[in-house]
């Protein structure tokens, strides 16, 4: 563990580039966290989204997700998950269960996300995100996830690492 102080090399509205000794990493500004939503309906379909991601230069297949505390000071993991689920997918949910905090790339990014499970889904709108987002919603049977991901990959989509949660049992088969 380094005793060197953490220096901010660069800071924008949403991220900071930091240095501690010779180690460089990125973090969210202002301590903002994220929530990632596994939304499974009563018919065993999961809600997925895809949207254009500037850092990748292409659309990315993902679980619905969003920031906690970016624009809402009173945000909780649950309230942010409910808001983002509705904004991105057009669904509300009866229950949100916090499954814990996770780190996607801890060697270079300090950002964490809270994984939640949303159940008791009801469609109330089209979703698609807020004005500057261009989100497509997919309701996919759990059994079809591997084929759906392969199809999207063949179409040139990136696949978010958190999709491994839904692919694990298929990927781990001998």
Residue 88 annotated in active site: yes
Active site residue 84: yes
Q: Tell me which of 133, 143, 150, 155 is the catalytic residue.
A: 133
The pTM score is: 0.90
Question: Does residue 65 carry a catalytic annotation?
Answer: yes
Of the CA atoms within 13 Å of residue 75, those in its CB half-sphere come to 20
Nearest alpha carbon to residue 87 among 29, 148, 149, 135: 135
pLDDT per position as a tens digit, 93-120: 999 999 999 998 888 988 899 999 999 9
Catalytic residue among 39, 80, 84, 118: 84
Cα dist from 68 to 35, 83, 104, whole Å: 7, 10, 16
CB 59 within 8 A of CB 84: no
Based on the residue annotation, tell me whether 83 is a catalytic residue of this protein: no
pLDDT in tens, the chain (174 residues): 668 899 999 999 888 999 999 989 898 888 788 999 999 999 999 999 999 999 999 999 999 999 998 777 788 999 999 999 999 999 999 999 999 999 988 889 888 999 999 999 999 999 988 878 899 999 999 999 999 999 999 999 999 999 999 999 888 877
């Amino acid at each position: 563990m380094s005793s060197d102080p953490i220096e901010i090399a660069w800071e924008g509205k949403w991220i900071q580039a930091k240095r501690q000794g010779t180690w460089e990493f990125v973090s969210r500004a202002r301590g903002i966290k994220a929530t990632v939503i596994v939304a499974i309906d009563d018919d065993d379909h999961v809600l997925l989204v895809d949207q254009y991601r500037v850092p990748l230069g292409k659309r990315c297949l993902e679980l619905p997700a969003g920031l906690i505390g970016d624009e809402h000071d009173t945000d909780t993991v649950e309230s942010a998950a409910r808001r983002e689920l509705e904004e991105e997918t057009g669904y509300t949910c009866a229950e949100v269960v916090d499954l814990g905090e996770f780190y996607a790339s801890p060697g270079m990014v300090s950002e964490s996300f809270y994984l939640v499970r949303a159940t008791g889904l009801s469609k109330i709108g089209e979703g698609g995100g807020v004005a500057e987002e261009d989100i497509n919603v997919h309701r996919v049977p759990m059994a079809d996830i591997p084929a759906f991901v392969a199809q999207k990959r063949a179409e040139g989509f990136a696949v978010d690492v958190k999709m491994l949660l839904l692919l694990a049992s298929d990927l781990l088969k001998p």
